[in-house]
Structures are given as C-alpha cells and as structure tokens.
Chain A
Amino acid sequence: MPATSYREALRAAHREALQRDARVFVMGEDVGRYGGSYAVTKGLLEEFGEARVRDTPLSELGFVGAGIGAAMGGMRPIVEVMTVNFSLLALDAIVNTAAALRHMSGGQFGVPVVIRMATGAGRQLAAQHSHSLEVWYAHVPGLKVLAPATLADARGMLWPALQDPDPVLIFEHAQLYNLEGDLPDPAPVVDISRAAVRRAGDDVTIVTYGGSLPRALAAAGTLAEQGIAAEVIDLRVLRPLDMATVLASVRKTHRVLVVDEGWRTGSLAGEVMARVAEEAFYDLDAPPARVCSEEVPIPYAKHMEEAALPLPPKIVAAARALRQSA
C-alpha cells in the first residue's frame, strides 16, 4: 500500500474529478500558479490548464458568488476558500444563495457547488486565523457539511460531494494536511452520510470530528493503558448528523464525551449532547460531557494556544471523570 499524505490524497481526489467530469473546475485564491496556499492543487494548472484551474481575485464574496453562478449554469465547481476565517466574507452567498435557492425556487434551481475550506488552530496564526466555525454552517438547512479526518476520506469524499445536486462544504483541518499514512490503490469508495467507529470500546463513547480525531485517538490510547476502553466515533458528516451510529454506541457504553475544537458555547458538541439526551436519556449512566476550546479568541503564544485547544490530556481527564463519577 503506497504511503501518502492527507494533502496528496486531496490532490489525487481533485485530479480524479477533473479527469472524470468535464464540468468540474477548481477556483480560488492562489490555487493555480501558486499551487494552493496549502499546496493541495500543486501541479494541477500545468496538467489541466487555465480553464480548469482558475486563480481568482482576493474577494471571497465575489468568487464564491461566481462559483455559485457557475454551478447554477451547469458546471460543477470546486471553490477553494483559503480558510473558514475568510469564508465569513462570503457568508451571505453561501447561506442566502447557495443554501436557499433550491427551496426558494421551488426546486427549479439547484446549486451543485463544492466549497472547500481549511479550518482550525494550532499553528500560531492567532485570533483571526484560527477559527473552527463548522457549526455555523452545520446549522443551515440546504447545506451538507463534511469533515474528512482520515486519508481515505480526504481521497474519497470529493467525488460524491461533486455528484450531489446541492451545496456541499468540506472542512479540512489545517493540521491534517501533513498527516501521513497508507492508502490502498485504487482508493476505497466512501459515503458522505455516515459516521465511522474509528476505535471500538465498551467504557465510554468519544465523539469527535476533523482535527480532533487524532487527539481523541491519542487520548483513547492513553485511557486504554489506564484500563478504560474508549470507543471513538468520527462524525465525518456534520450535517446531517448520523446520530444512529452515535446512539448505538451510547447505548453500549452509557457514557458520552464529545470533543469539538469549536468554542463550547453554541458548539456542535452541544447539539450532539442534546440529541443524545433526547434520544438515549434512559441509557445514560452519567451526564453527557464535552471538551471544547476555551472561551477565548485563540491566542498567538504557543503555550497559550495549546492551553486553549482540546488536546489529549484534557480529553483523558474528562473521560476519566465520566467513568469515575456522577
């Protein structure tokens, strides 16, 4: 099995899409000549030409709008917004146009656009460049929101996302780009509807997504040494949530801990906990728990940034507290 990286898997996914479907093209800041600010699209301009890999001006609202228009016109654009932080400038286009047009047009117009964004903190990019705002988009009906956290998902989620007749947002945690591992060739086909159990266990269910998956798995390893068998669930799809997988696990372990890099208040973790309480209340042996980012703008100084994020020691402590007490 060839060794590869999350970044290379994404690139291979783009290449496959560009080859298989003539309607697909990539657009965004620095995706062409520069090869992408995270090097995902490196080499694609040379391979596919300027019509298929398009550098855009520095205007998120403008080029996301253009991508939406292209999708409505019959294309299947992959719009790269450099990070979720800059997507705020295009929020109106995404929420009020892409998400709503099928509904508002009574089904006459769909917007089959894929919008990819880097997300998350951990590289000392400070308050304005470290957001995890996936939950804002997961709140909006009309959008599908994906969070690939493994090489297989980075490789496999793009194609079904492009085939979806409605807008799909793909969040790539910036710290995952360098993630290395093996990927079979040909790559496995994946769905964009279900969560995945990444590690099985009986004592506590840890639910997470995106950049927090490696943290949760690391914590599970530590917990196993301490005699606690954690089951780790990777949500993969943030909207619509696959609660069936989560609830089946909670019914087995009776304890749930959600790890979410978003801030605690109004987090996606809160939504998962509410659904667990609504639908598996009588299977819970302890209150649902969460580990999120601290309620501060993400700091610049490295030790402070680390203190703000839901890193493995905090996850281990929270899981132990769940096991031991009320």
Chain B
Amino acid sequence: MIEFRLPSLGSDMDDGTLVEWRVRPGDVVKKGQVVAVVDTTKAAIDVECWDEGVVHLLLAEPGTRLPVGAPLAILRAPGETVADADRAWAAARALKAAGPTTAAEAQRAAQAVVPPAPAMPPPAPGATVPPARPASTPAPSPARTPAVPPAAGATPAAAGASPTPRPRISPLARRVAREHHLDPARIPAPRGVVQLEDVQAALRAGLAASPAVGPAVAATPAGPTAGPAAGPVAPPTPAQRARAMRQTIAAAMARSKREIPHYYLSEEIEFAQAAQWLAARNAGLPPAQRLLPAALLLKAVALSLRRYPEFNGFWREGAFVAGSGVHVGVAVSLREGGLVAPALHDADRLDIATLTRSLLDLVKRTRAGALRSSELADPTITVTNLGDQGVASVFGVIYPPQVALVGFGRIAPRPWVDEAGRLVAAPLLTATLAADHRASDGHRGALLLAAIRAALQEPESLGAPWQDAPARPQE
C-alpha cells in the first residue's frame, strides 16, 4: 500500500486546494504521471506522483484545502492485491485513530498486515511494473489498447514480467496530447496507434475532465470518499489571485532580504560570437524553429554551475545542500502581475534546440497557469532575463532557499576595447550574480561569472553539433 501525499509546491507554499482528480480507482499510475490538479495562490499546478502502482482509493475531495504532506490517495503497490491493500489501509487508519506511538512501531504494525510481496526484486528506477492482478475483479478500467504501461528500458527479467510494448503514438498526436495535458498512454487507439483523430476524440469525450471519484473498490468501512466528486472547484477570481500572489511574493522577498546576506557581482559579456553563431544556425529556419539567445544564456549558466556547484542548491538548517541536478528556475512575469520561476530540469544536459523549445513551452504553460509540482519545487537556482524589457542590468533578490540568482540585461551595441586596443562598437550584455554569502564568497562568484562569459565566447561548446537530431521532448 502506498500513500500518495501532496508534494511540495515550492518553498513559499504550504497548502493548496484540490481542484480535480486526473485518475480514477483502477487506473495505472506511472512514475511522474500527473494525477491531480491543485490550486495555489500562484496557479493551478499539475501534481505528479513519483510512485508506480494502481489507484486504490482517492482520499481527498475536490474543493478541500490541504496542507503539503496530506495524504491524497492510496495506491496498490506492484503485486499487491485489492484485499491486501484494503487490509493495509484499514490497519493504517486504525493506527492513526489510536494515536501515534513511535514512527517505527507504527511502521512495523502497518507492515505486519501487508502480506510479504511476492519474491520479486524491487523495480529499478523507471522499470515497468505490470498492474496487479487481484483475485477479485475490480471495477473495470475503460477498455483501451494498449492497456499496459510502456516499458522504460529495464530488463524484463528484473521486472519479473514479459516486456510490454512501447505504445505507438504518432509524433503529432503526442504533441497535441501534451498540449492538452492528456497522457497519451491513456488515449484509446482502435487502430493500434494513437493518432491525431484519437486525441481529438478523447478530448471531445472529456477524457481530461475530472473523473468522478467512484465507489471504493472493495467494501471499506467508512471509506472517506464513497461519495461522488463535487466536480472541479471554481478557481479564485483574478483579483483574489493577484492579491494572494503579491502576498506570497512579499513574504518570500522579505524573508530573502531578512535572512540572506546578499553580495553582488557584475560582468560585461561580449556577445558577438554568440550572435554570429545564432544567426548562422537560424539562417533558413522558419521563425517557429529559430533558436533563442535566452537558451544560449541558460545553457551557459547551467554548464558553469557544473563547475561551481556551490551556487546550485539550497541553504538549509545552517548548511549548503547541493541540488540533485541543474534545474534552472526561469523567472517569468505574469500578465496579471506577479512572478513565477519554474524549473527547466537538467538544463545542463539539453541541446540548444531542445532548450529553446522547452523554454517556450515553460513560459507558455506558466502564463496559462499549467505548471507541474516538480517545476515549482525543484529549481536549484534562478535566472532572470530582463533584457527584453530594455534594462541594462538587473540585480535580483535570491529566492530562498536557493543561494544564487543570475541576472541578464539587454544585448545592445556599446563601446568596447578589443584585443588590439581599438575602440569598437560591440554587442554587450551585462550579467550579474546575486549570491548568498553564507554559502559562497565573492572570489568564487567571480569565477562563476567568468565561466559564463567564457562559455558565451565559444557558443559551439554550448550545444550539440550542427545538425541536431530531433530530441525527444522532456517527459
């Protein structure tokens, strides 16, 4: 039995209101799948589940305000039967009712009623797990082909099951499904492959609409969600959202200035090499495919952070904790006022074309209010690029618990002295670093900015070779 709890929605969020469920009891959940939509003061966030299993029970009702960490649903673990999951859940609730003893005791008691898992090694990260096949047939999930989760590269022997075929989805259908926040694997495919018309049919049939929270799969005493869902809850009005957004920003920024001893550095970067490289790459490309200067800047920052990891992480409880990867938060201003800085995951590993696409997608979804919880929780540093607004340089306020913020101003021709000592007009860009002096010192900050500058003098080093193979979009 797996308890799925409301994950963190960013360091300045403590709770959210469940808007709708994206899964029903009986649905297979894959790692990273969006299972619910939760509203915070900033936006409606797609909440991802990082466990794999089958939805057993939905615990929370749409419309309820829940703290981060509140249990939202119960999943059946791989190999667990419906009956076992019921018993486990009943036992866990009984324990909670009895009051906590010690965490260890409670854990032991809960495990005692879960039958030992069949002799199956724990799935490797990303491995495929077949849905549990209980003795009693649960409420049938909607018939669909293929009805199995896609293999993710684990050896079949390790997963203890025969390899499942990769679902066949045309690139167009996958893209359109993603744009509408539909999981392509859930779309019925009568011809054996999901194509555009199947996605459109699914949209018309309301597949993305809130599924009713169905009756509990087996009789559960006083199941908390036996009733039907109230349906999606009306989101806050724009005025309410704007007020709440400002309060959230005010709290975060005040905390930042109160707690973080900022130091500031700035560096002028000559952009001619990068501009030429971009112009050559973009020549002959239609506007929709052109690479953005912002993608180059983000990549330069991401690669430089690999060399100076003390700027990529968090200050927690008196010490620096390095980030698990380079997840660059991109500051996006919202039209109705306010600011969100969601993460571009693993920005150091993306080629420039993918980075451009991901950036545009992220900005679009941010402004449309369609972000995922991992995008809010995971940024390890923030980059703010106010060049388009025409300002020469920006000294930002670090977003706690991060320890640094890189700012970029506009790219414009300015006087510059070249290696030959001549005064020339060159495209210049002012990059700045605001950094937490608890975690780093000016010397290292200067090296970081110097690395960013050096990277932008050799744009070929930032990305893939001339012909990028089309990369798979980030799942």
CB of B142 within 8 Å of the partner chain: no
- In the complex, the answer to whether A254 meets B172 with C-beta atoms within 8 Å is yes
CB neighbours of A254 from chain B (8 A): 172, 196
User: A279 CA to B175 CA in the complex, in Å?
Assistant: 15
Kindly name the residue among B171, B175, B196, B467 whose own CB sees the greatest number of chain A CB atoms within 10 A: B171
User: A277 CA to B171 CA in the complex, in Å?
Assistant: 10
CB distance from B311 to the nearest CB of A (A): 34
CB neighbours of A285 from chain B (8 A): 170-173, 195-196
Q: A282-B175, A285-B170, A286-B170 are in contact. Are A244 and B286 (CB under 8 A)?
A: yes
CB neighbours of B195 from chain A (8 A): 285-286, 326
Name which residue of chain B comes closest to A277, CB basis.
B470
CB distance from A276 to the nearest CB of B (A): 11
* 0 or 1 for each of B454-475: is its CB under 8 Å from A? (1 = yes): 0000000000000100100100
- In the complex, the answer to whether A247 meets B173 with C-beta atoms within 8 Å is no
CB neighbours of A325 from chain B (8 A): 191, 193
CB neighbours of B473 from chain A (8 A): 282
Residue of B172, B191, B192, B193 near A283 (CB, 8 A) is B172
* 0 or 1 for each of B374-385: is its CB under 8 Å from A? (1 = yes): 000000000000
CB distance from A248 to the nearest CB of B (A): 8
Interface positions of A from 274 to 297, Cβ below 8 Å from B: 277-279, 281-286
CB distance from A325 to the nearest CB of B (A): 6
CB neighbours of B286 from chain A (8 A): 244, 247
CB neighbours of B173 from chain A (8 A): 285
User: A44 CA to B470 CA in the complex, in Å?
Assistant: 53
CB of B162 within 8 Å of the partner chain: no
CB neighbours of B174 from chain A (8 A): 282
User: A47 CA to B249 CA in the complex, in Å?
Assistant: 86
- In the complex, the answer to whether A279 meets B289 with C-beta atoms within 8 Å is yes
CB of B168 within 8 Å of the partner chain: yes
* 0 or 1 for each of A236-260: is its CB under 8 Å from B? (1 = yes): 0000000010010000001000000
Interface positions of B from 181 to 211, Cβ below 8 Å from A: 191-193, 195-196
Q: A278-B467, A285-B170 are in contact. Are A326 and B193 (CB under 8 A)?
A: yes
Interface positions of B from 306 to 331, Cβ below 8 Å from A: none
In this complex, the interface size class of chain B, counting residues with CB under 8 Å from chain A, is: 10 to 19
User: A284 CA to B174 CA in the complex, in Å?
Assistant: 10
CB neighbours of B172 from chain A (8 A): 254, 282-285
CB distance from B54 to the nearest CB of A (A): 28
* 0 or 1 for each of B233-275: is its CB under 8 Å from A? (1 = yes): 0000000000000000000000000000000000000000000
User: A279 CA to B191 CA in the complex, in Å?
Assistant: 26
CB neighbours of A278 from chain B (8 A): 467, 470
- In the complex, the answer to whether B470 meets A281 with C-beta atoms within 8 Å is yes
CB neighbours of A247 from chain B (8 A): 286
CB distance from A320 to the nearest CB of B (A): 14
Name which residue of chain A comes closest to B192, CB basis.
A326
Kindly name the residue among A247, A281, A285 whose own CB sees the greatest number of chain B CB atoms within 10 A: A285
Name which residue of chain A comes closest to B173, CB basis.
A285
- In the complex, the answer to whether B191 meets A326 with C-beta atoms within 8 Å is yes
Name which residue of chain B comes closest to A287, CB basis.
B170
CB neighbours of A284 from chain B (8 A): 170-172
CB distance from A160 to the nearest CB of B (A): 21
Interface positions of B from 261 to 299, Cβ below 8 Å from A: 286, 289
CB distance from A292 to the nearest CB of B (A): 23
CB neighbours of A286 from chain B (8 A): 170, 195
User: A325 CA to B197 CA in the complex, in Å?
Assistant: 11
User: A281 CA to B470 CA in the complex, in Å?
Assistant: 8
CB neighbours of A283 from chain B (8 A): 171-172, 175
CB distance from B471 to the nearest CB of A (A): 10
User: A244 CA to B289 CA in the complex, in Å?
Assistant: 12
Interface positions of B from 137 to 196, Cβ below 8 Å from A: 168, 170-175, 191-193, 195-196
CB distance from A255 to the nearest CB of B (A): 10
- In the complex, the answer to whether A326 meets B168 with C-beta atoms within 8 Å is yes
User: A283 CA to B470 CA in the complex, in Å?
Assistant: 12
CB distance from B7 to the nearest CB of A (A): 30
- In the complex, the answer to whether B467 meets A282 with C-beta atoms within 8 Å is no
Name which residue of chain A comes closest to B198, CB basis.
A285
CB distance from A237 to the nearest CB of B (A): 15
User: A313 CA to B473 CA in the complex, in Å?
Assistant: 38
Name which residue of chain B comes closest to A278, CB basis.
B470
CB distance from B44 to the nearest CB of A (A): 26
CB neighbours of A279 from chain B (8 A): 289
User: A277 CA to B170 CA in the complex, in Å?
Assistant: 12
User: A303 CA to B473 CA in the complex, in Å?
Assistant: 49
Name which residue of chain A comes closest to B468, CB basis.
A278
- In the complex, the answer to whether B171 meets A281 with C-beta atoms within 8 Å is yes
User: A233 CA to B193 CA in the complex, in Å?
Assistant: 28
Kindly name the residue among B172, B192, B196 whose own CB sees the greatest number of chain A CB atoms within 10 A: B172
User: A254 CA to B197 CA in the complex, in Å?
Assistant: 12
User: A277 CA to B289 CA in the complex, in Å?
Assistant: 14
CB distance from A245 to the nearest CB of B (A): 11
Name which residue of chain A comes closest to B286, CB basis.
A244
CB neighbours of B467 from chain A (8 A): 278
CB distance from B352 to the nearest CB of A (A): 16
- In the complex, the answer to whether A282 meets B193 with C-beta atoms within 8 Å is no
CB neighbours of A326 from chain B (8 A): 168, 170, 191-193, 195
CB neighbours of A281 from chain B (8 A): 171, 470
CB neighbours of B168 from chain A (8 A): 326
User: A281 CA to B471 CA in the complex, in Å?
Assistant: 10
Kindly name the residue among A247, A279, A281, A326 whose own CB sees the greatest number of chain B CB atoms within 10 A: A326
User: A282 CA to B173 CA in the complex, in Å?
Assistant: 8
User: A284 CA to B173 CA in the complex, in Å?
Assistant: 8
CB neighbours of B196 from chain A (8 A): 254, 285
User: A285 CA to B195 CA in the complex, in Å?
Assistant: 6
- In the complex, the answer to whether B171 meets A282 with C-beta atoms within 8 Å is yes
User: A308 CA to B212 CA in the complex, in Å?
Assistant: 58
CB distance from B468 to the nearest CB of A (A): 9
* 0 or 1 for each of A307-326: is its CB under 8 Å from B? (1 = yes): 00000000000000000011
Closest 8 CB pairs of A and B: A326-B193, A285-B172, A285-B170, A282-B175, A282-B171, A281-B470, A285-B196, A285-B195
22 CB contacts below 8 A, A to B, read A244-B286, A247-B286, A254-B172, A254-B196, A281-B470, A282-B175, A282-B470, A282-B473, A284-B170, A284-B171, A285-B172, A285-B173, A285-B195, A286-B170, A286-B195, A325-B191, A326-B168, A326-B170, A326-B191, A326-B192, A326-B193, A326-B195
Q: A284-B170, A284-B172 are in contact. List 17 more A-B contacts (CB 8 A).
A: A277-B470, A278-B467, A279-B289, A281-B470, A282-B171, A282-B174, A282-B175, A282-B470, A283-B171, A285-B171, A285-B172, A285-B173, A285-B195, A325-B193, A326-B168, A326-B191, A326-B193
| Residues of chain A having any CB pair with chain B under 8 Å | 244, 247, 254, 277-279, 281-286, 325-326
